[in-house]
Amino acid sequence: MTLDLEHREALPRHDNQNPDLFGQTPSQTVGPYFHYGLPWKGGADLLGQSEIGPRLDLVPPEHFVLNNAHGSGMPQGEAIEIKGVVLDADGAPVPDAMIEIWQANAAGRYNGDADMREDVPLDPHFIGFGRAAASAEGIYHFRTVRPGRVPGPGNTLQAPHVAVSVFGRGLLKRLATRLYFADGEGLDMDPILSLVPETRRHTLLAQKRDDGAWWFPIHLSGAHETVFFDL
């Protein structure tokens, strides 16, 4: 820590409307108190079947003003569970983390305007975006479908994957990573995985556990640090 933190003096300042300053708004941490502002009920259930997502133990009930989302029907494809623990450099769980996912549907189509491939079907019951607050033990939990394959750069085909964003107290900006399935088709040929040093690729592979869930631990730092991407 810088020694003068307690003695710094304030200076005069500009503001957001100064044209010389125009550019990307910088990132700041979500802090520890995002639970009544971001993760809604059902946010972590992309199947629309349950209320998982928020931490209701951290918000007085009369102050939970966020949505309670219900699906319009069961999406197509293989329903799966994704779980993991968020750990810091010392291996301690991170209870004030928030995880978001973005993925294609079972057919490999994104439910977003920029995916214009009309030959691959949309699923009216699947959006593909989810948000989960970590538990007191640092564990996050999603219910979703196993995504199909989507094209990569050139004529490549990407292995099935889920884009993951990590937020939390102490994270000044979003950390972006990817979840691949350990038994996924095309892992050897995946154009993004091949950019990752071979010794670290395992950090991106979710493993199927005995309870059927895909386990994807996120090591923010430390000996098993997860691969994070500059994208």
Partner 1 sequence: MNGLLQFAREDRGFPPSLFPDYRATVARSPREALVHMPQTLTEVTGPGPVWDKLMGPAIHDLTTQHKGAPLGQRIIVFGRVLDENARPVPNTIVEVWQANAAGRYIHRKDDWDAPIDPNFTGAGHVISDAEGNYRFISIRPGAYPWGNHKNAWRPAHIHFSLLGPAFATRLVTQMYFPDDPLIDIDPIANAVPLPYRDRMVSQLDMATTTPNWALAYRFDIVLRGKNQTPFEE
When the beta carbons of 119 and 210 are compared against partner 1, the nearer one is 119
Q: Nearest distance from residue 56's CB to partner 1, in Å?
A: 10
* C-beta closer to partner 1: residue 167 or 214: 167
DSSP 147: -
* Closer CB to partner 1, 137 or 209, in the complex: 137
CB-wise, 166 or 211, nearer to partner 1?
Answer: 166
Spatial contact of 192 and 179, defined as CB atoms under 8 Å apart:
no
Which structure tokens are listed for 182? 């350990």
CA angle 115, 68, 38 (to 5 degrees): 70
- Say whether 132 sits in a helix, a strand or coil: strand
Work out how close the CB of 154 gets to partner 1 at its nearest, in angstroms, rounded to a whole number. Answer: 5
State the Cα–Cα distance between residues 104 and 114, nearest whole angstrom: 12
> Smallest distance, Å, CB 131 to partner 1?
8
Write down the least CB distance from residue 123 to partner 1, Å: 12
Q: What is d(CA 97, CA 135) in angstroms, rounded to the nearest whole number?
A: 8
